[in-house]
Amino acid sequence: MNNHPLNNKNVILGVTGSIACYKAIDLASKLTQLGAKVDTILTDSAQQFINPISFKSITHRQVVTNLFDLDNELAVNHVAMAESADCIIVAPATAHTLAKISHGISDDPLGTTILATNAPVILAPAMDGKMFENPATQENLAQLIQRGFFVCGPEFGRMASGLVGLGRLSNTQDIVQVTSMILGKNSDYSQKKILITTGGTQEDLDPVRTITNRSSGKMGFAIAEAARDRGAEVTVISAPTSLNNPIGINVEKIKSAIDMQQSIENHSIDCDVLIMAAAVGDWRAKTIAKTKTKKLKDQNWEIELVKNPDILSSIKNDSLIKVGFAAETENLVENAKNKITNKKLDLIVGNDVSRTDIGFNSDNNEVVIINPYGEVENLPKMSKYELAHEILDRVQTLLN
């Protein structure tokens, strides 16, 4: 993926002697798939759990296992390796390695490389809950954070011992997200504030029933992640979705169209860009029953719907760049063109939600992007994260 912050980056993956070592193979694979050049360093203890060949086969690059290995260029040249790194990830990071790093001990390839680097170092601890709670570990971590190291996790859950506690290695996706965010910090959206809406709003009929739509929230969250990975400060206003909040993004949960309007009004004041990927309900029930509406024999339930307000009309920030989405099942371009004019948007992204391979709930999308002059750009089918970058590229031109 060309526009991913990990693409073409030199990443050193340090793997230390935890039972969670096997998860580092998945991490090495994911980083490589995203275009990173991953050199792995295994501590002696890590090699008790896992074989270097697993990493070599996945990354197709050198794996360092011994500081004094004359046949391994990277081992001997660990200072050069440290200097050329864009970032170092230690996952899993044992209590022992955290202690060593915090005291500057460099008796192995990982310790020497970390001492010699200026690149950001991300530590993903994994250990028994009591080991993690121990004041020695906590003090070591606090000192490392104070020195500018980044820490991802650990998570709460069941550990190898069978005990439940705080000590599980963060999942691969979270470690990748933290790394992407750190690598993208100074990109073209740094200093920019972006507000994104996502999900499908819900309008109550009674305490148990709602009117909603099929929007999954995936498109809005993909834009949020892409903007975060380009250095933006991102807020997402999210109508109900089953998705986890992305790392490093402020998420405000709302339910109805009126909640959405209120929230946009509050957050848009000091934002540079508003991207409205949420599917906002056009109608709501005129009255909401206070108790559950009972099913009575031979009796239908007639619901009167009233129009929801126009969300954009309450925005008070004139310099805001506004990007809308048009989810259509017919006459896509014509309907999207009408919407960009009626809503006075700077760009509109139209997608055909009648197709099952794109749009609602899919990981991919195929869209048209239309500007206020009516110029239509057809984009091929791509992942929602890639599409998010395409949209952000065009918004960047407007910002300039």
Minimum CB separation from ligand FMN for residue 41, in Å?
A: 10
Residue with tokens 């959405």: 260
> x/- contact string, 10-49, with ligand FMN (CB under 6 A)?
------xxxxx----------------------x-xx---
What pairs with residue 274 in β-bridges? 195, 322
Q: Residue 197 CB: number of other CB atoms within 10 A?
A: 29
Residue with Cβ nearer ligand FMN (18 or 59) = 18
Q: Exactly one of 96, 185, 339, 394 binds ligand FMN (CB under 6 A); which one?
A: 96
Which residues in the 121-150 window bind ligand FMN by CB under 6 A?
126-127, 131
Q: Which of the stretches 93-101, 197-205, 272-280, 339-347 binds ligand FMN when contact is defined by CB under 6 A?
A: 93-101
How far apart are CB 94 and ligand FMN at their closest, in Å?
3
Cα separation, 132 vs 168, whole angstroms: 10
Known catalytic residue at 118? no
Task: Please state the closest distance from residue 114 (CB atom) to ligand FMN, in A.
Answer: 12
- Nearest to ligand FMN of 17, 324 (CB atom): 17
Q: CB nearer to ligand FMN: give 45 or 396.
A: 45
Can you tell me the distance from the alpha carbon of 187 to that of 8, in angstroms, rounded to the nearest whole number?
15
Place of tokens 């009575």: 296
Bond prior to 207 in cis (omega within 30° of 0): no
Could you say which of 97, 102, 112, 238 contacts ligand FMN (CB under 6 A)?
A: 97
101/273 with CB nearer ligand FMN: 101
Strands 150-151 and 121-125: parallel
d(CA 169, CA 124) in angstroms, rounded, equals 6
How far apart (Å, rounded) are the C-alpha atoms in residues 300 and 71?
Answer: 81
Sort strands 233-238 and 376-378 into parallel, antiparallel or unpaired: unpaired
Distance of alpha carbon 121 from alpha carbon 198, whole angstroms: 32
Contact 110, 16 (CB under 8 A): yes
Q: How many residues form the binding site for ligand FMN (CB under 6 A)?
A: 15
Tell me whether residue 41 or residue 178 sits nearer to ligand FMN (CB atom). 41
Q: How far is the CB of 126 from ligand FMN (least distance, A)?
A: 5
Shortest CB 43 distance to ligand FMN, Å: 3
Q: How far is CA 337 from the centre of its chain?
A: 31
Integer Cα distance of 215 and 353 in angstroms: 9
Q: 222: alpha, beta or left, given left = phi > 0 and alpha = psi -120 to 50?
A: alpha
Which of 94, 198, 201, 365 contacts ligand FMN by CB under 6 A? 94
Given the residues 213, 245, 335, 364, the one annotated as active site: 213
- At residue 129, the 3 state secondary structure works out as helix
Q: Residue 122: name the closest of 188, 178, 83 by CA.
A: 178
Smallest distance from ligand FMN to CB 289, Å: 54
**Which 193-252 residues touch ligand FMN, going by CB under 6 A?**
none
Q: Cβ closer to ligand FMN: 91 or 264?
A: 91
- C-beta of 93: minimal distance to ligand FMN in Å? 8
Number of residues that make up the chain: 400
C-alpha–C-alpha distance, residues 198 and 359, integer Å: 13
Q: What amino acid is encoded at 40 in this protein?
A: T
The one among 95, 175, 176, 195 contacting ligand FMN by CB under 6 A = 95
Identity of the residue, 167 or 184, whose beta carbon is nearer to ligand FMN in the bound complex: 167
Block residue for tokens 């060593």: 100
For residue 351, what is the DSSP state? E
Contact flag: residue 112 with ligand FMN (CB under 6 A): no
- Residue among 17 and 184 whose Cβ is closer to ligand FMN: 17
User: Phi, psi at residue 156, to the nearest 5°?
Assistant: -85, 140
Least distance between ligand FMN and beta carbon 203 (Å): 48
Instruction: Please name which of 18, 28, 19 lies closest in space to residue 89, comparing C-alpha atoms.
Output: 28
Which residues are the active-site residues? 213
Binding site for ligand FMN (CB under 6 A): 16-20, 43, 45-46, 94-97, 126-127, 131
